Amino acid sequence: MTNDPAPSQDKNLVDKYSIEINNIIVDVTIASKDDEPVPQYVVSITNISDTTKLILEKIRQEFISRLDLGDLERSQEHDVEDVRDRFKKEIRGLIEKYFPNTDEKTSDMLVNYLIEENLGLGKIEILLKDPSLEEIVINNHTEPVWVYHRKHGWLKTNIRIFTEARIRHYATMIGRDVNKEITALNPLMDAHLTTGDRVNATLTPISTKGNTITIRKFAEDPWTITKFIKQGTISVEAAAFIWLAIQNEMSVLIAGGTGSGKTSMLNVVSNFFPANQRIISIEDTRELTLPRNLHWVPMETRLPNPEGKGGVSMLDLLVNSLRMRPDRILVGEIRRKKEAQVLLEAMHTGHSVYATIHANNAEEVITRLTNPPIDIPKPMISSLSLVIVQNRNRRTGKRRTLQVAEILPNGDASVIMQLDAKQDLLVKVKESHTVLKRLELYTGMDRKDIDRDLQEKIRILKWMMQQGIESIDSIGQTMSKYYLGVLDMAKETKKVA
């Protein structure tokens, strides 16, 4: 695996930044060219000279000649690190041989560089460390690696993997670390890296152009409500309305297509949970990140082993979660009838439930829930309060909240906020009735009280944006102060009223 040459000067610079990985400085340049349909994402290591790289390649070849990869293949999960440590010692010895006057910091950097080139994912490790990337895609050995950038969408990189065998080796290595295998008999694999990044791999001839690896990165810096508002994903008025519903323990279903931001929105609505309630989250692969001050128990499903034993399904965890005294239940995605039934039963028995579902609009959510394979009786859906629909414009790459809808007593969805695509604004199209009636019934507030509460929440959200309160934990602390009644907004919100 290597890098294509850096872009020529006639390209138009789109973006440029640096990232540091184990003391290695990597420059990232994103540039466009008139005859290319997408910009190029170019990585270059700046603090290792070309001469040093040549010597490192010689060290790499010498190391490979000594290396017994069988040790790594035969090693069990608990002693893989021991094998890596032994290889590190051998590489360090070679570094000292070729660079006798190198200080410890530089030596560590060169050792890490060679370890990742030989035992890790090579240059893919650089892409995994870029927080701006959401997806990393290897299509085959003839194409460059592709990435999906948070800001710039799909980009071609200057990184290539030159053999199908190497792609397969990476897939095998990823699978081994989580006790999964990918073979000619089992050419499809869903797995995850130890960092939580989700991985899908396929082998040829199932993928006809070559072996593939798709990595969806785990968000180290997850989306929060203030980031969503700042990016224009949702309006402050809609955020305040959702906050009010969640504060009063109403259940919410988040819909959208693939890549529309459903899980991100699920993470965002969890910003509004009070710290004195027990939260259980259930996912196939961990993607949610909640504030550290919350009483949160994350749980993951598990596929059965090759003998068909040891599997733990979403339904298993859902049923079990109801015995864990949860106040709030978060579910990665509803796919099957039994999962939906258990969730709706949980709502009927007083639990607040938050989940995602694949559907493109509020009406389609009801259609999906009430028809096979989910096939839930329509009257049962009335226990759900809100549906939030996320949408991604594939032409512009923008993610937006398309609709906020309430569920009527007969199980129909009534859209109360709708995206005006032309103006790129989420606007109110109808007054809420069902949600407001529930608030009046269960809180004793009248419409004026509810309006005052909403206005206060709008002021707090604007103040949080002005103060730069964007991280998951700082928002969690702010929400805790709000629920405890110690967040004094009297002076602070006047500045943004």
In this structure, the answer to whether residues 157 and 231 fall within a common structural domain is no
**CA distances from residue 23 to 44, 90, 426 in whole angstroms, order as listed:** 14, 20, 44
pLDDT at 40 exceeding the cut of 80: yes
Most trustworthy range by pLDDT among 132-146, 163-177, 188-202? 132-146
In the predicted structure, residue 118 carries a pLDDT above the cut 60: yes
CA atoms within 13 A of residue 198's CA, in its CB half-sphere: 13
Calculate mean pLDDT across residues 33-44. Answer: 90
The pLDDT score that the predictor gives to residue 8 is: 47
> Are residues 137 and 35 both part of a single domain?
yes
pLDDT bracket for residue 2 (50, 70, 90): low
User: Does the residue 122 lie in any domain?
Assistant: yes
Taken in order 285, 291, 292, 296, is the CA torsion positive or negative? negative
Q: Is the pLDDT of residue 482 over 90?
A: yes
DSSP calls for 217-263: PP-SS---HHHHHHHTSS-HHHHHHHHHHHHTT--EEEEE-TTSSHH
CATH code, domain carrying 120: 3.30.450.380
Q: Looking at residues 162-169, what average pLDDT do you find?
A: 92
Q: Report whether 355 contacts 389 (CB < 8 A).
A: no
List, edge to edge, every strand of the sheet that includes 425-428.
295-300, 278-283, 328-331, 352-358, 252-256, 386-392, 399-407, 413-420, 425-428
pLDDT score recorded for residue 72 = 52
Place of tokens 């000619």: 184
Which pLDDT score is estimated for 90?
78
Q: Final residue of a domain: which of 114, 138, 162?
A: 162
Number of domains in the chain: 2
| Shared-domain flag, residues 326 and 432 | yes
Is the domain of 247 the same as that of 347?
Answer: yes
Sign, Cα dihedral of 243, 249, 254, 259: positive
- Indicate whether 19 and 148 sit together in one domain: yes
Residue 172 lies in a domain: no
Question: Is residue 118 domain-shared with residue 241, that is, in the same domain?
Answer: no
Q: What is the DSSP letter of 302?
A: B
Q: What is the CATH number of the domain that holds 279?
A: 3.40.50.300
* Residue 234 tokens, joined: 């949702």
- Residue-wise pLDDT tens digits, 267-309: 999 999 999 999 999 998 788 999 999 999 999 988 787 778 8
Please report whether residue 95 resides in a domain: yes
Residue 297 φ/ψ, nearest 5 degrees: -120, 105
Mean pLDDT, the chain, whole residue set: 88
With a CB cutoff of 8 Å and minimum separation 6, the contacts of 6 are 29, 42, 44, 158
Same domain, 461 and 367: yes
Q: How much is the average pLDDT of 67-88? A: 59
**77 within a domain of the structure (yes/no):** yes
pLDDT at 452 over 60: yes
Tokens coding 494: 């006047």
Strands (DSSP E) found in 96-197: 133-138, 144-149, 153-160, 188-192
Q: What is the pLDDT of residues 350-399, one digit of tens each?
A: 899 999 999 999 999 999 999 999 999 998 999 999 999 999 988 888 89
- Quick one: average pLDDT of 95-123? 78
Instruction: Tell whether the model's pLDDT for residue 9 goes beyond 50.
Output: no
Residue 238 has pLDDT above 60, yes or no: yes
Q: Give alpha helix (H) positions in 322-428.
A: 337-348, 362-370
Are residues 446 and 298 part of one domain?
yes
Domain range for 353:
225-496
pLDDT at residue 220 in the model: 73
